[in-house]
Amino acid sequence: MNQHKQLLLKAQCAVEENKDLVRQHARKRQWYHFMPECGWMNDPNGLIYYKGKYHLFYQFYPYGPYWSAMHWGHAVSDDLLSWKHLPVALAPSEPYDDCQKGGVFSGSAVEGEDGRLYLFYTGTIVNEDKVTKSQCLAVSDDGIHFVKYEGNPVVAPTAFVESDPKVWRRGNRWYMIVGGEEDHKGRAILYASQDLKTWERFGTILESDGTLGAMWECPDLFTVDGRDVLVIGPMHLGERKCTYLTGNMDYKKRAFTPFSIGEVDCGFDYYAPQSFEDPKGRRIQFAWANAWDWMPWWKGFGTTAQEGWCGAMSIPREVRVQGDLLRFLPVEELRSLRKNYRDYGPLHLYEWSRMEIEAGDGVHCEILAVLSLQETAAERLIFQVRCADGVQGGNNRCTKLIFDLREGRLTVDRNGADDWSTGRKSCKLRLLSQESLLIHIFMDTVSVELFTDDYTTAFSTNIYPEEACTELYVRAEGGGASFLSFETWGMRRVCR
């Protein structure tokens, strides 16, 4: 048995040993957000619809709930929501990817013309702080067992650090985009190939003009609604950590010309999104619902590591274009999880009043409300979620989602969420329509995902309140507030 197979078996044994413990004892497992069975997870990798199933791979460390020697975990689904875990797909095993501080880094998947599944990843080696990254290939006949290509790496290390290959087909060519830096400027670099094995460097399609960060991670380039879109993870750029540029990709000139810029998600916990096109023609995106230590608001990876696991995905979102903006719509499959419907609308809130709302068990739920801007005088509208008085030594708990209608700002304040979370983060509220404001919230055991501004603004955050924190209020300040509709649901459990 070769080295890679042996290391995959070893990794899988660790999963089999630890997953039951997590299942039996963990209290903070999500109900409908994908998580590893145990150990550590970060970026989504290799998203693809292949031979009748959705495949999700992910950055994985099976031996403990912390980042170390990266593997690729693997799961499949029929509906993007309930996932079946498959054996670990890739393990660090070769001179170009076997490293405790490196490993099999992020990448993507394509179906080759021969019907086989091709995975591209960055082999990463760290030697006395010198980082060597190369782009590598692994291939599978059955979509489950992967063999690393004997000609690896398919793109040898360059003078600059390049990583996170995203591969796609266009016309009669394959293309690959990687993120990198040169002269302290983040950049996206394009390669091309006829056979997925020999790659020609086409060069930089876009680089930072000095305002977009020193290094770009996990680039994603795709066309949706006739527009080309480049998504990047610019490092060390303050509030920006997950940015999109809409524009035009000229394959002849090998250049991307941006028209507009925006944030994919302006919350605390959404990074390294990857997208793919599904058989229904939808552009679907997942992201790692967490943050890195280089982000200004970071304080740790949350409290679930105590339970032997760490890391969850966002809900799947469909990406659409509206003018110069992108819209991020929770996929329609999520409706199949709804239960315990409550209809509160139309609903009027008087000035300074606070109304208690029921949404499922108050923890695993969905809220869909449409505020009438015409009939609302309130300066601020505040959703207070996961609240409870006097838990754990008398602490009051609450996470606030604050819609500042006068200033046009959305602020999420998680300072009072639990014993662990801190921070307050804001972004612009566009108030695109003068008539109404849509507010759509998905809550799971340890996460809140908020969509507003006709889905052009998304905000994700993780919080870790006690189970008793189930109260939910809406409050209007500085005037009354009128909702045209106000609906809530509980959510079914599909992940364990």
Q: How far is the CB of 233 from ligand FRU (least distance, A)?
A: 6
- Of 308 and 311, CB closest to ligand FRU: 311
Residue 243 as a binder of ligand FRU (CB under 6 A): the answer is: no
Q: How far is the CB of 42 from ligand FRU (least distance, A)?
A: 5
- Of 93 and 122, CB closest to ligand FRU: 122
Q: How far is the CB of 75 from ligand FRU (least distance, A)?
A: 17
* Residue that the structure tokens 């999880």 belong to: 337
Gap between the Cα atoms of 117 and 170, Å rounded? 17
How many residues bind to ligand FRU according to rule CB under 6 A? 13
Q: How far is the CB of 288 from ligand FRU (least distance, A)?
A: 6
Catalytic residue among 43, 269, 444, 453: 43
Tell me the per-residue interface mask from 146 to 165 with ligand FRU, x by CB under 6 A, - otherwise: -----------------xx-
Among 37, 162, 182, 217, the residue binding ligand FRU under the rule CB under 6 A is: 217
> Which residues, 120 to 149, sit near ligand FRU by CB under 6 A?
122
Among 22, 29, 39, 59, the residue binding ligand FRU under the rule CB under 6 A is: 59
* 228 catalytically annotated: no
Q: How far is the CB of 472 from ligand FRU (least distance, A)?
A: 32
Residue 47 as a binder of ligand FRU (CB under 6 A): the answer is: no
- Of 106 and 275, CB closest to ligand FRU: 106
- Of 266 and 272, CB closest to ligand FRU: 272
Residue 43 as a binder of ligand FRU (CB under 6 A): the answer is: yes
Catalytic residues: 43
Binding positions for ligand FRU, rule: CB under 6 A: 42-43, 59, 70, 105-106, 122, 163-164, 217-218, 271-272
